[in-house]
Every structure is written in C-alpha cells, then in structure tokens.
Amino acid sequence: MFDFPGFFGSANAKLKREHHYRVFRELRREPGRFPQVQWRAADGAWRDATVWCSNDYLGMSQHPIVLEAAHDALARYGAGAGGTRNISGTTDLLVALERELADWHAKDAALLFSSGYVANDTTLATLARALPGVIVFSDAANHSSMIQGIRASRQRCVVFRHNDPAHLDALLAAHDSSTPKLVVFESLYSMDGDIAPLAALLAVAKRHGALTFVDETHAVGVHGPRGSGLLEAHGLLDAVDIVQGGLGKGVGVVGGFITGDAAVIDFVRSHAPGFIFTTALPPHVAAAALASVRHLKESGAERAALRRRVASTRTALAAARIPIASTPSQILPLIIGDAGECRALADRLLERHGIYLQAIVHPTVPRDAARLRITPGPLHTDADEARLVAALVEARAACASAVAAGSGSATVPGSATAHAA
C-alpha cells in the first residue's frame, strides 16, 4: 500500500532543508496598540514586538469608527450570515456595501466575495470559461489567485512581459481581431512594490478590443483622492472594465470584491461557484468594511500620514545604507536572496530586537529572491522607526558575520509566483 504519511513527511522535510517551510509566529493584537503586539517565544512567554510587515496599510482595523460599526452590528445581527446569500438571504449591510464599492470605483455594480483570492480566482475562471474561444493575456508577475483562475478556465493563456505594453501590443496583434481577448494585470505588485503603466496597458487593450480586468488589492484605500486606488489616482476608472479589490488590506477588515458594468457583475453573480456556494460575509464584517470605505472616501488624513511615514522610513533606511529596493509605493522590499539567510535575519530581528518582519520565500517570490517586505504605516512612530533601523543594522551585520564564519545561513527550517503551467 502507498505510504501516505511517509510521502507527506518527506515532502515537508525537503521544504525544511531548503528553508521554504513556513513558520507561523503566534501573535496577539490588541485594539488601540497596533503596530505593537505580543508574540509567543519558544519558552512559551509572551514578549513585546512591533509589526513592520502588515498589509493593514492605513491601520483601519484599529480605527474607532470601524470598531464601533462592528460592535453595533454584532449586537444587532449576531455573529454569522447563516449561509450563502441565495439560500439564507442577503443582509441589508451587504447590499449597502456593494453599492458603496460600486460608487467608489465609478461603476454600475459590485459583488462581494469571501476574500480577494476568491474574487480573482472565481471571477477569472467564470468569465474566461464562458467567453467562446477567449484568449487571456496575463502579466508575468500576476498573483497566484489570478493564475489559478485562468488555469481553472482551461482557456488559452498568453503571458506578456511584466509591465510591458509593447509586448502586450505585439501579442494582441498576432491574433484575429474577432477573437475575444481578456487582458489581466495588477495596478500595484505587492512583493516588489512596483506600479503598472496603467494608461499604456489599458490603451493597448482598448485598441485591440479586449476586456480588461485590473487587480487593485494593494492600492485600494491607499491611493487616489477618494482612496479607491491607482486607477482613480490616474483618472482611468472609466478606461477599465472590471476592477477587483480587497477589504483586508487598506480597508482593514476581510473580503474581496469586483466592480464593473451591471451586466458583467450580474453574470458573475449567477455563474461563479466561488460566490454561489460560499457563506456570505458576516454582518459585523460587512458593517466594519462599510464604515471603513465611507470614512476613506471622505478622509485623506490616513493616506497623508502613510505617505509621510513611508518617506521618513525610506530616508532613514537609506541613511543607514540598508539597500531597500527603490519603489513608488508603500512597500519597501529588502531583497536578501538566500531563503536560509533571510529566515535567520527575520529570527534575529524578532528574538533580539522585538521587530516582526516575516521572511518572504518561495513560492511567494522566486527561489533566489527571498526578502523582508517592510510596510511602514501611519501608526508607526519616530521611535518605532529608529528602533527598526538600528535593529536592521545590527542583525544584518551579525548574520553576515555568521555566514562568513561558515556557521550556516539559517537557524530554523522554513516569493513573484511562477506563471508557467
């Protein structure tokens, strides 16, 4: 008989040898204290730490307006949605949130999902599967959720070079004009922090009559006059057909969504398994997201504070000669390369300095591109920043000395995702 335990055990052991095994740190987040948290050390004790790698870019998970809305909805509606929206009914909060999201992105309609991953996966699979003979043109650095959705459709996928409008143009031109085409890319790439040439890519797609799908997950809340994302910031909301976004990052809660033409959204609502057969977002989550979106549409204070902290942190890191990649966004990658060395650095930062920066390794980034992904936020203080810089200087020097001495590159066993099939 097949040795199932042996198979999985060997696979896990291989991940550990390669330092790609994922180690989760146990944290306690307390309202009003973030980015200060507690983490459980190896001896079981809880110790203080400062988080520098959160996707809660604006700290909205801690905002009093958001917390109050969640508390009120929990008391009024209870804890759960009771099932799918079709079977158990749609709460008025979900309807209100979808209307708010549609308005935020200047679209006819919106549709909520349990996560941004599901929004990408199930929407792309549904659309591509339905369009007869469609060819999907996908950026080489697109997120795993987009790649999986395209694969699930079983339709042809053509990959264009990352952020390369000329390559996309050539690939689109090589196919018959009557063939349905779907162009898929992100506005802000979360691992490198780079921003797509939105106007150029959308112009190319329009010239070839392609349907466009843009993932704004890491830009929602953070960019644009009303915070809806980079498309708004560049005045391009009217130029894109479908905008995808997440509620777990800039909005500070959980969930995902798409916005677009009413007919397209209605089609996805009626055909997407990831929507139809999934329990709806709980009422208190919908209420919290609704309060957050409404606040961010009116307030630029959080975005302004984020920009100031990102600029300050980038300057401080540069002054200390810490080689942060040059990015135009709120994401500051420190590329280490070797996964073992990256994990050793992350461990030392947490255990010696109380700085929580998770090592990002394959398959989230390529095997030779392990990194620490620094995301300054408006709730970080000058003192937090000074401690971060000092800790990085000490830890990098200590880890470099250990590697030079031949003592090994990592203390514990354990990523853009490859687009190849």
Residue range 28-63, pLDDT digits in tens: 998 889 999 999 999 999 999 999 999 999 999 999
Q: Where are the domains of the chain?
A: 18-51+301-404, 83-291
**Mean pLDDT for all residues in the chain:** 94
pLDDT surpasses 70 at 417: no
Retrieve residue 43's tokens.
């001896």
Q: Please count the CA atoms within 13 angstroms of the CA of 197 that sit on its side-chain side.
A: 13
Residue 303 has pLDDT above 70, yes or no: yes
Name which of 267, 258, 218, 217 is nearest 240 in CA terms. 258
The pLDDT tens digits for 126-158 are 999 999 999 999 999 999 999 999 999 999 999
Report pLDDT for 411. Answer: 42
pLDDT score of 409: 44
Q: Kind of pairing, strands 36-40 and 46-51?
A: antiparallel
In the predicted structure, residue 307 carries a pLDDT above the cut 90: yes
**Under 8 Å CB-to-CB from 221, ≥6 apart: which residues?**
57, 58, 60, 227, 229, 249, 250, 251, 252, 292, 293, 296, 302, 303
3.30.300.20, 3.40.50.300, 3.40.640.10, 3.40.30.10: CATH of 83-291: 3.40.640.10
- Percentage, residues of the chain above pLDDT 90: 90
Give the residue from 282, 298, 238, 215 showing the smallest Cα distance to 78: 282
With a CB cutoff of 8 Å and minimum separation 6, the contacts of 394 are: 352, 353
Question: Is 249 an active-site residue?
Answer: yes
Please name every residue paired with 111 in a beta bridge, in sequence order, or none if there are none.
258
CA-nearest of 214, 213, 215, 232 to 223 is 232
Residue 325: DSSP 8-state: P
**pTM for the full model?**
0.93
Cα–Cα distance, 132 to 312 (Å, whole number)? 51
DSSP state of 279: P
Structure confidence at residue 88 as a pLDDT band (50, 70, 90): confident
pLDDT digits (tens, 9 = 90+) for 193-241: 999 999 999 999 999 999 999 999 999 999 999 999 999 999 999 999 9
pLDDT reading at 413 higher than 70: no
Q: What is the pLDDT of residue 401?
A: 82
- Cα Rg for the chain, rounded, in angstroms? 22
For the cut 70, the answer to whether the pLDDT of residue 412 exceeds it is no
Residue among 16, 107, 206, 249 flagged as catalytic: 249
- What is the distance in angstroms between the CA of the first residue and the CA of the last residue of the chain? 31
pLDDT on residue 407: 53
Q: Name the CATH code of domain 18-51+301-404 (choices 3.90.1150.10, 3.20.20.70, 3.30.1360.120, 2.40.50.140).
A: 3.90.1150.10
18-51+301-404 matches 83-291 in fold = no
